[in-house]
Amino acid sequence: MTQSLPGQAPPAGPPRAGAKQAPPTQSTRKEAIVNATSGMTLRALPRIPHSVKRLLLGFSSITVDGNTLDTTLQLMLAAQHVAGIQSGLVANDDIAAARAQLDFLAASFKQNIPVAAVTNLSIPGPAGPIPARHYRPAEGVAPVLVFYHGGGQAIGSLDTHDDLCRKICRDGAVHVLSIDYRLAPEHKAPAGSDDAFAAYKWALDHAAELGAKPDLVAVGGDSAGGNLAAVVTQRARNEGVPPPAVQLLIYPVTNYRDETRSQTLFAEGYFLTKRDLHWFRDKFLDGAQLDVSDPRVSPLLADDLTGLPPALVLTGGFDPLRDEGRQYADAMRAAGVSVDHREFGSLVHGFANFFPLGGGSATATAEMISALRAHLARA
């Protein structure tokens, strides 16, 4: 079935007949106000002239480690702070609430970018069907990107990354197959990566059925999804499976074991926090079959990085994950892998999802898609 699938905000309007509702608490009322304020702030940002943004910020700027924070993102973070919105990607320790909050954030500035077709699929997986979503470009026969969404292996969904997948599909002229892999804490490592690998192998076998080029199957993802793309790429090499044409690693998690300088520099106040990183790691790896140093979760710690396909690695200058993304790019390059590493010094974690806000996030996302298209043309 082909359909348009916009991200969904929390339900609005009167309850269903006969439905029971808990009385509103001070906490839920405050959360509703905060969500509404956040949504209005994000929707307004693209329409505010740069000069007015600077005025609203008192003509102040933030410079850390030689990088100056993008004005649009600085205003977004400042507005959230003024509105009393908790700093960090994880807004609530309750996993269901944390997932709902990210869903709401993504829906707050949704664009519903048109593509030729969007189809929900079900892919056979190691523990049952894996939901997936196929985005078809107008160009028809084209490469396919198997995409894994971010969210610390614990939150995020097909809907939170719907706009990004649509933009990659439309502007990159590629098919995008977005994968809804199993999440922690319900499914510890390596459940998510097992799903990711199964989906990649399915794409190799079924690319032609999608209308894509069977010999041009790439993998990619942001943050935890970038981690999965790197893990899938290494596993394909190790198990003799045809390698991805390109690996697109957007501010990837590459090392769950070690702490980096960027995690300390940007521990608080830049969207993704050090507390978030620890929360995600605990949900993903506490009680898991794999240790934090296992390359099946920490690809940077693999003994051998030779023989991997070309990599396009993106990092942000104000991202706690900046340094491990840099380190993975450097390590692959040292092992003889062709690496295109691009660091956007003014941007925070999540900038690829913030492209609807304009500013440097939009510029960086456009550059990323252009670079991906060029790499696929050479593959």
What amino acid positions are annotated as catalytic residues? 223, 319, 349
Q: Amino acid identity, residue 17?
A: A
Structure tokens at 90: 């994880």
Structure tokens at 328: 């993975």
Distance CA 100, CA 92 (A): 10
Distance CA 104, CA 94 (A): 15
CA neighbor of 316 nearest in space, from 353, 259, 278, 364 = 364
What is the SS3 string spanning the chain? CECCCCCCCCCCCCCCCCCCCCCCCHHHHHHHHHHHHHHHHHHHHHHCCHHHHHHHCCCCCCEECCEECCHHHHHHHHHHHHCCCCCCCCCCCCHHHHHHHHHHHHHHCCCCCCCCEEEEEEECCECECEEEEEEECCCCCEEEEEEECCCCCCCCCCCCCHHHHHHHHHHHCCEEEEECCCCCCCCCCCHHHHHHHHHHHHHHHHHHHHCEEEEEEEEEEECHHHHHHHHHHHHHHHHCCCCCCCEEEECCCCCCCCCCHHHHHCCCCCCCCHHHHHHHHHHHHCCCCCCCCCCCCCHHHCCCCCCCCCEEEEEECCCCCHHHHHHHHHHHHHCCCCEEEEEECCCCCCCCCCHHHCHHHHHHHHHHHHHHHHHHHHC
* Structural contact between residues 348 and 271, judged by C-beta atoms closer than 8 angstroms: yes
